[in-house]
Amino acid sequence: MFTKELETCIIDNMFINLEDLYSEVPPTKLRNIDEKFRPAQTSPFWLWVADRFFYGMLENRFYAFRYKGAENFYLRDMDTPIILFAPHSNWWDGIVGYNICNRIFKKEIRLMVEELNRFPLLRRGGAYNVNKKSPQASMEAIKYSVNVLGDLNNILYLFPQGIIKPPNYRPIELQSGLTYIAEKAAKKYGKVHLMPVAVNYMFLRDNRPEVLVEMGKVIELTSDKPDRKEYTHYLAKTLEELCDKQFYDISQGHFKGYETLFQRKLKWYRRIEQRLKKIEVKGSGV
């Protein structure tokens, strides 16, 4: 079961040498690991556990989770499969994606995870593994990605950069897997929707960071086969423009339209600080 010990184990695995933080080679290819494909294996009980565990992790580490653009998800043909795609800069991205799908959109996430054998319980929350040793090795995961889109209770959430990049890395370049999956899904289901997602982790006016998510306009791909290279570049440019817009808005203090998934209560010392600010001392000149 998901436990505090599991959370500690996961967080501890994040601490490595700074020089090793960003490799251009996927872990399975770097370590030459043959990992058997394992599909997501959810159930009402495990989804209940995962929901509380992953939501609790964010609440424990962040002051607030705010999001905007959710209307783009609903103002579309809801009978069409959808893929959400986002940049990947740190380990929290998957937890954020889970809460977007589960808490905001009330759907099950299907999340492609490399080296899932290290955290097999994530399958219970909707994760499935991918082996990136070669294009042939990853085909089973790609085919599975297309198939899960047939269940409209699922949202496929992808990090199409393929590897973790530094925060706000530019230019955003995507591997062709996203286009391939979208193309096959459009052919199989008639059309597919793609929605870019920008995510930032920022310190604003609290001593803990906030999660800020902006969802872009939905892109519709029909069964007409696009040029894979050009379409991948188009999706990358669309995602980069959304991320740049969000970063600029945050830098200017423009937060209009954000909704709040959660916001923690102020710590006792912050509450005292707020009260002291309201005290007017006569003759103090303050």
pLDDT, residue 12, reads 53
pLDDT, residue 117, reads 77
pLDDT, residue 266, reads 65
DSSP annotation of 264 reads: P
Give the closest residue to 162 by CA, choosing from 148, 176, 147, 181: 176
pLDDT, residue 21, reads 76
Q: How much is the pTM?
A: 0.85
In angstroms, the CA 47 to CA 110 distance is: 12
DSSP annotation of 160 reads: T
Give the closest residue to 160 by CA, choosing from 127, 111, 120, 207: 111
The reply to whether CATH 3.40.1800 applies to domain 4-278 is no
pLDDT, residue 7, reads 53
Give the closest residue to 122 by CA, choosing from 261, 6, 28: 6
β strands within the chain, DSSP E: 64-68, 82-85, 108-114, 127-130, 154-158, 191-202, 210-215, 219-222, 259-263
Tell me the average confidence (pLDDT) per consecutive run of 10 residues in the chain, 286 residues long: 52 59 73 80 94 94 97 97 97 96 97 85 93 80 96 97 92 96 96 98 93 98 91 98 98 96 76 66 50
